[in-house]
Amino acid sequence: MRLHNISFNNLRRRKSKLAFLIVGLTIGIATIVTLVTLTKSMSGDIERKMDEFGANILITPQQNGLAMNYGGINLGGVSFDQKEILESDLSRISTIKNGKNISAVAPKVLGGVRVAGRQVMLVGVLFDKELKLKQWWKIFGEAPKGAGELLLGSDAARVLNVMTGDPLVLKGERFRVTGVLDQTGSQDDSLVFAQLGVAQRLLGKQGRINLVEVAALCSGCPIGDMVLQIAEKLPDAKVSAIQQVVEGRLKALDQFRRFSWAMAGVVVFIGSLIVFVTMMGSVNERTTEIGVFRAIGFRKSHIMRIILLEAAVVGLLAGLLGYWTGMGGAWLALPFMAEGKLVALAWDPLVAFGSLGLSLGLALVASLYPALQASRMDPTEALRAL
């Protein structure tokens, strides 16, 4: 018979109380595990979605050209009549240290052309990359697939009086408009989009491009690092982060994380309160018993050890149960949260050990005051009979 036998026997023979304590704490821990795991599992997915939603790095030629605005974004020294980046240089972008974080590289060549007596801006793009980058585009018709096809912004289509399926002549070459963009509110509305190679040929800029928009996944890599890495690979280009986009995304993610932690905090507080109230009740219930312990010579520290050991057992069991219940909850909730997409459940040993440690810590902290109260109990008061 040692002190731990008293704790274990008490827990073993007061199963309903043990179950109540464990359930209370398990709910708290499980909620944390579910929220943290969901946040971890989803944040990658959310980051990816957010990062794919438009560019966050801009590559322009190093020059002192005139300022120009593109899509509400200041393009700095871009000038479509001056220097260009070589298309062959683009392959170097993917060789940067954080190359795996690059989601899309969308090169563009820009130039003015006359169409039906009007000056319009022709933009050569790689449509598959551009569509990945601009997921908000809504096309009436379809994106061009062949060389003889064009996509028009809504204003361009209106001014040039063409619709999907109509022909359009650029620099004496006949094209077919396969799609018209729904109004975007950006400069895209007034542009004429063609395949990159076609635009380069029409504008006389074969193998050259004016700017590159890059969508980089922020996960695990500060965008600033990637900007430096790309700049090293392309010394003749000016590489800049679109700060407002980057900051906006980080802030949104941060808010999502904060919300999860706040939720978890509330549940943990309630869980701790359950442990505190139950342990306090248990101590009050065991007044006589504690009086007996003190009368037969148990020190205050012995009483505290008995109570805290019980709390530790409850904490460990609740931690284990809470972890597995929480992971189960996350597994069940993930398909709904991830909108049916296959997102892998994040198995993190830190969450496993963290939940166990948290549960143990909470149980001990919540039981500290009841244990102190128990140890300070006056044996004569506790026994009354004496």
Partner 1 sequence: MSLIKVRDLAKSYRSGDETVEALRGVDIRIAQGEFITIMGQSGSGKSTLLSVLGGLNRPSRGTVEMAGIDLYALSGERLADFRSERLGFVFQSFNLIPYLTALENVMLPLAIRRMKGKQKIAAAREALSRVGLGAKADRLPNALSGGEQERVAIARAVVNRPHILLADEPTGNLDSKTSREMMDLFRALNQAGQTVVMVTHNPENCDYSDRTIQLKDGLVVAQG
The binding site for partner 1 (CB under 8 A) comprises 1-3, 5-6, 9-10, 12-14, 288-289, 291-302, 379-380, 383, 385-386
Least distance in angstroms from the C-beta of 290 to partner 1: 10
Show the beta-strand stretches assigned E in 166-291.
Answer: 167-170, 173-181, 191-195, 208-209, 211-216, 237-241
The number of C-alpha atoms within 13 Å of 163 and in the hemisphere containing its C-beta is 0
Strand partners, 85: 209
CB atoms within 10 A of CB 377: 21
In the complex with partner 1, which residue's Cβ is closer, 14 or 48? 14
Sequence length of the chain is 386
Q: Residue 298 carries which DSSP code?
A: -
In the complex with partner 1, which residue's Cβ is closer, 80 or 298? 298
In the complex with partner 1, which residue's Cβ is closer, 9 or 95? 9
Least distance in angstroms from the C-beta of 370 to partner 1: 18
Could you give the 3-state DSSP secondary structure of residue 144? coil
Q: How far apart are CA 173 and CA 189, in angstroms?
A: 22
Least distance in angstroms from the C-beta of 365 to partner 1: 25
Least distance in angstroms from the C-beta of 14 to partner 1: 6
Place of tokens 């980046």: 85
In the complex with partner 1, which residue's Cβ is closer, 342 or 386? 386
Least distance in angstroms from the C-beta of 314 to partner 1: 16
Q: How far apart are CA 61 and CA 108, in angstroms?
A: 12
In the complex with partner 1, which residue's Cβ is closer, 342 or 385? 385
For the chain, the farthest-separated pair of C-alpha atoms sits apart, in whole angstroms, at 113
Residue 341 Cα distances to 44, 45, 78, 331, 335, angstroms: 13, 9, 39, 13, 7
In the complex with partner 1, which residue's Cβ is closer, 135 or 380? 380
Q: How far apart are CA 149 and CA 115, in angstroms?
A: 15
Least distance in angstroms from the C-beta of 359 to partner 1: 24
In the complex with partner 1, which residue's Cβ is closer, 291 or 319? 291
- What tokens does 381 get? 């008061």
Least distance in angstroms from the C-beta of 386 to partner 1: 4
Strand partners, 150: 177, 194
Q: Residue 321 carries which DSSP code?
A: H
Q: Phi and psi at residue 20, in whole multiples of 5°?
A: -60, -45
In the complex with partner 1, which residue's Cβ is closer, 295 or 344? 295
Least distance in angstroms from the C-beta of 18 to partner 1: 11
Q: How far apart are CA 139 and CA 130, in angstroms?
A: 13
